[in-house]
Amino acid sequence: MTQFLQLFFQGFALGCIYALVALGFTVIYRASQVINFAQGGMLLIGAYLVSVFATGTRLPFGVAVALAVLLLAAGAVSFQMIVLRRVIGQPVFVLVMITIGASIVIDAAIPAIFGGNPRLLGDPWGSSALHVGGVTLNWVRIWAVIVTALILAGFFVFDRFSRYGLAMRATAADEEAAAAVGVPVRRVYALSWAIAGAVAAAGGLFLAGFPNSPNPSLGDVALRAFPAIILGGLDSPLGAVVGGIVIGVVEVLTSGYAPSWLGANFSDIAPYVLMILVLFVRPYGLFGTRPVERL
């Protein structure tokens, strides 16, 4: 039983990280139909920024994280304003290609600047853990869950109750109509990238926590969040979060319990298999809505 609980907890914590990544993807996609292939790169930058501020300066860890979040959000917005705004109106795959270009740049620049060896994250938790009834709960992972919950709560308050949240939903529903009634669509785009950047910083921070460390291959993890987006349904941030957690739990549970005839490391594709099975039954994900098209 403790084995199951241990696996479940780790999976849940990993799922929270996936949820953050999926949220970042979904926010941008909802606003502009762009699949941001640079999300993994943003995760990577987030982890390294935290590492640089936390180990390179005497700032307290919380301040370092706040700085990293702000810087990454600002960076994401700058990218959107300087580069993507020039191609507004172009087919969506053009913007997707640009994000692919950005991810190539990031993946090469990080080892170029920081070297390929792992760094210290500089977090105060390290390897410390809480031991509850035979189950080990690393503090890093506990904080990952807490912070994710806070971020999500904050996001939902923003989404439902603030003007910009409304603006984002309006833009997602129908961009032209929203612009026609005065919704500041450009600002909505910028905002969606800022949120994605901030969320990526948080995701990167926890991803690089114990027992991992900031190293150049962290960005690949973002790919694993894709099933989360689909599972939850593309236009539902709640769905992205639920999807992320489900994916994380499935992945870790499978790695613990999968029989060997499924092949080595079946846990790596278990999320995709699950996603495909769900799509057979519900082609728009668990929470997604069927789009209505006007002929």
Partner 1 sequence: MSAVAVSRRRGHRVKGRTVLLALIVIGAVLLPFALNAYWLSTAVFVVIAAIGAVGLGVLTGYAGQISLGHAFFLAVGAYTAAVLGGNDHLTAAIWLPAAGIVAGLCGAIVGPTALRLRGLYLAIVTIGLVFIGQHVWFNVPAISGGPGGRAFPPVQFGSFNFGVGQQMTLGGVVIDHNGLYYYLSLLLLALAMLYVFNLQRTRVGRAMQAVRERELPAAVLGVNLARTKVSAFVISSFMAGVSGALYASFLSFVIPDQWSLLLSIQYVAAIIVGGIGTVWGPVLGSLVIFALPSILTSLFPQTSAGGVPIDDITSIAYGVLIIVFFVAEPRGLVGLGSRLAGLARLIGARRRPPRSRIQETQPIEGEEAT
Partner 2 sequence: MSKAKLRSLGALCAAGAVVFGLAACGTGSSSGGSSKTSGGIKIGPGVNASTKTISLGVLTPLSGPVAGPIGIPLTAGQQTYWKAVNASGGIDGWKVQLVERDTKYDPQTQVTQFNQISNQVAFIGESLGSPTTAAIQPMLDQLKMVTGAAAQDSKFVTDPVMAVIGTPYAVDVANALDYLVAQKGLKSAKIGIIYQDDAYGQDGLRGYNAGLSTYHFNNVAEATYKVTDTDFTGQVQKMKSAGAQYVVLTAIPSAAAAIVGTAASEGYTPTWIFQGPAWSEFLMSANGLPSGKPTPVAKALAGHVWVLGYQAQWGDMSAPGMAKFLADTKTYAPTQIPDYYYMYGYAEAKVEAAIISKAIANKDLTRQGFLNAKLNLGTVDEGGLIPPVTYTSTPGPAARETAISVVDPATPGFLKLIRPYFEGAAAKSLTF
| Residues of this chain that bind partner 1 (CB under 8 A) | 29, 35, 37, 83, 86-87, 90-91, 93-94, 96-98, 100-109, 111-112, 223, 226-227, 229-230, 234, 263-266, 268-269, 272-273, 275-276, 279-280, 283-285, 293, 295
212 binds, among partner 2, partner 1, none (CB under 5 to 8 A by kind): partner 2
Cβ neighbours, 10 Å, residue 78: 14
Cβ of residue 228: shortest distance to partner 1, in angstroms? Answer: 10
Closer of 13 and 278 to partner 2 (Cβ): 13
Cβ of residue 281: shortest distance to partner 2, in angstroms? Answer: 28
Q: What is the DSSP string of 90-126?
A: S-HHHHHHHHHHHHHHHHHHHHHHH-SS------S-T
Q: What is d(CA 182, CA 103) in angstroms, rounded to the nearest whole number?
A: 33
249 binds, among partner 1, partner 2, none (CB under 5 to 8 A by kind): none
Residue 115 contacts partner 2 per CB under 8 A = yes
HSE of 199 in the Cβ direction (CA atoms, 13 Å)? 32
Q: What is d(CA 74, CA 21) in angstroms, rounded to the nearest whole number?
A: 18
30 binds, among partner 2, partner 1, none (CB under 5 to 8 A by kind): none
Q: What φ, ψ does residue 158 adopt, rounded to 5°? A: -60, -45
Q: What is d(CA 16, CA 213) in angstroms, rounded to the nearest whole number?
A: 18
Tokens of 20: 């953050």
Residue 118 contacts partner 2 per CB under 8 A = yes
**Longest CA span, the chain:** 60
Binding partner 2 (rule: CB under 8 A), the pick from 97, 100, 129, 142 is 129
Closer of 206 and 226 to partner 1 (Cβ): 226
97 binds, among partner 2, partner 1, none (CB under 5 to 8 A by kind): partner 1
Residue 146 contacts partner 2 per CB under 8 A = no
Residue 210 contacts partner 2 per CB under 8 A = yes
Q: What is d(CA 73, CA 42) in angstroms, rounded to the nearest whole number?
A: 10
Q: At what angle do helices 139-161 and 163-173 cross, to 10 degrees?
A: 80
Q: What is d(CA 199, CA 20) in angstroms, rounded to the nearest whole number?
A: 6
Amino acid in the structure at residue 218: L
Residue 256 contacts partner 2 per CB under 8 A = yes
Residue 49 contacts partner 2 per CB under 8 A = no
Q: Which residues bind partner 2 (CB under 8 A)?
A: 3, 6-7, 10-11, 14, 55, 108, 111-112, 115-121, 126-127, 129, 131, 136, 138, 207, 210-213, 215-218, 220-221, 224, 251-252, 254-257, 264-265, 267-268
